[in-house]
Structure 1
């Protein structure tokens, strides 16, 4: 098995994990547990699990570099992405929120060009604009099928894109496990603030506790598999398999939540995925050139 094949399989496994995580969190939020409480419990569980893995690897739980301004920016974007995307999957169809999220790599490429000065040619800029047009097709602003709640997914998309850009500038002395601790920890105070606005916590039932625990375990596994994938094969070969997350989300949405995406959502999703794959391919061509 080549490194590229192994990395691609890990990427697919990671995307399946993230899709299952989204499904479980949507189920918990849809059965009476406030979204703020879901964020608190999910963030706290993920933080503790990453802390255990960090200690097992012999790394310290705390490093002064976490207070670097770049890390504070990363934490802020992480909070925004998690908050708005969790609200999106709670209030809108899972397939719609996941389709919008697929535009994150396009926004990251645009941000890398505008913020870090990375060279992006006219072909990739065209693909970025086409992909954002696919997002508009999914949203349909001003038309009958428009749902204002879908804008929460757009806000989550921007938060995750900002987090990815900030991660590029994160201090190299921080490991992926340590970054996982701080990323999940940021969700706890965020969830607490949202919970105060929502009116108070409830005691989850046994099934809801099980689903939350499953979301934490699957989410941490997906994060680990994503890290392994990006470190195993060529980035330009492995990264396009990120879009399998949309396929998994569509299947889970139809099977678990009985969603039926309309033609515009499917067409917009196809445009976003095609634009993302083309952008990644052109980036590989430009790097070789």
Structure 2
């Protein structure tokens, strides 16, 4: 294992995801959400499908018709739709802060639904981390924005995707899983567009922004896969949190966003508890 390279790949992946989010948000002022989801979904499916075919992998597999795969597709649709709607509705920095709860939610879901053993320290970390999310969202208080619920929906959907992925047989191609996940999101985008209407032909600038979002997302996907393969997972995983750093920088310079103190405090709590959870899992070998 080469942990230094693994950390580098993970940081590159998080930069790629943050850039992709930025480009998507730039398009949402001119294009309806359903159209952006459809373009991004079918574009990603085409790229991953071609990638799989180039590697000689099957594009259709019997695993497509199993419960875990179907649940993953449904979770991918929910997560992607909620994420892009949130991008259109709230600040990028706020969305990115809420999404940082995903590792905690994965640990919680693994304990509740997959029978994973979680010790009391990690339970406490999850509880405190979720309090951090409440500080960011502030339900019932003056600073509450109901659109942050889309971000929470995205976090839950992405958690379902990550948990169901664990139940998919290891011999099923990762590229195949990704291609069908994007395709399902594309179909959902078309359905949403049918209800909302407003489809428009992207001009040159919008087309370049959409291409940029797809390209950075593909680079990020490749980089996160490389990180997991060349480095120890407990070592490289904490560097996922660099995504928030990149998102805050991009949100400031591109959109002029300035997160308030409570958002930063909540994000710090979520990240700290997430890192603690990962550390405890590493110490206990994932058994406590």
| TM-score between the two structures when normalised by the length of structure 2 | 0.98
CA distance in 1, matches of 2:162, 2:43: 22
Shift of 1:200: 3.4
Q: Distance in 2 between matches of 1:192 and 1:156?
A: 19
Partner Cα distance (2:198, 2:189) in 1: 11
2:248 match: secondary structure? helix
The CA RMSD measured in Å over matched residues stands at 1.1
Correspondence for 1:253 among 251, 263, 267: 251
Take 1:120 and 1:53, find their aligned partners in 2: how far apart are those partners? Answer: 38
- Greater CA drift, 228-237 or 102-111: 228-237
Q: Give the alignment of 1:10-29 within 5 angstroms.
A: 10-29=9-28
TM alignment of 1:123-142, pairs within 5 A: 123-142=121-140
For residues 198 and 206 of structure 1, what CA distance do their matches in structure 2 show? 24
Q: Tell me how far apart the structure 2 counterparts of residues 47 and 160 of structure 1 sit (CA, whole Å).
A: 18
Aligned with residue 58 of structure 2, among 57, 60, 63: 60
C-alpha change, 1:288 and 1:164, in structure 2 (3 Å) is closer
Give the CA deviation at 1:81: 0.3
Contact 1:65/1:173, CA 8 A, preserved across alignment: no
Task: Work out the CA distance in 1 between the residues paired with 2:203 and 2:8.
Answer: 35
The one of 226, 229, 236 equivalent to 1:228 is 226
Equivalent runs, 1:104-183 vs 2, <5 Å: 104-183=102-181
SS in 1 for 2:200: coil
Structure 2 runs not aligned, ≥5 long = none
Deviation at 1:266, TM superposition (A): 0.5
Q: Does 1:195 align with 2:193?
A: yes
The equivalent of 2:7 in structure 1 is: 8
Distance, in Å, in 1 between the alignment partners of 2:286 and 2:134 is: 33
| C-alpha distance in 1 between matches for 2:140 and 2:68 | 38
The separation in 2 between residues aligned to 1:131 and 1:214, in whole angstroms, is 33
Q: Per-residue deviation at 1:288?
A: 7.7
Give yes or no for the alignment of 1:206 onto 2:204. Answer: yes
Question: Which range is displaced more, 154-163 or 186-195?
Answer: 186-195
Q: Which whole-Å CA distance do the structure 2 matches of 1:198 and 1:134 have between them?
A: 34
Which region of structure 1 is more displaced relative to structure 2, 219-228 or 255-264?
219-228
SS in 2 for 1:151: helix
TM-superposed deviation, 1:225: 0.9
Offset, 1:199: 1.8
Query: In 2, Cα distance between the equivalents of 1:154 and 1:190?
Result: 19
Q: 1:178, CA displacement in angstroms?
A: 0.9
Aligned residues: 287
The CA distance in 2 between the partners of 1:140 and 1:14, in whole Å, is 30
Identify which of 43, 46, 63 aligns with 2:44. Answer: 46
Deviations 1:1-47 (A, max 9, x none): x61111111111111000011101000012x2001000000111111
Alpha-carbon separation, structure 2, partners of 1:272 and 1:100: 8
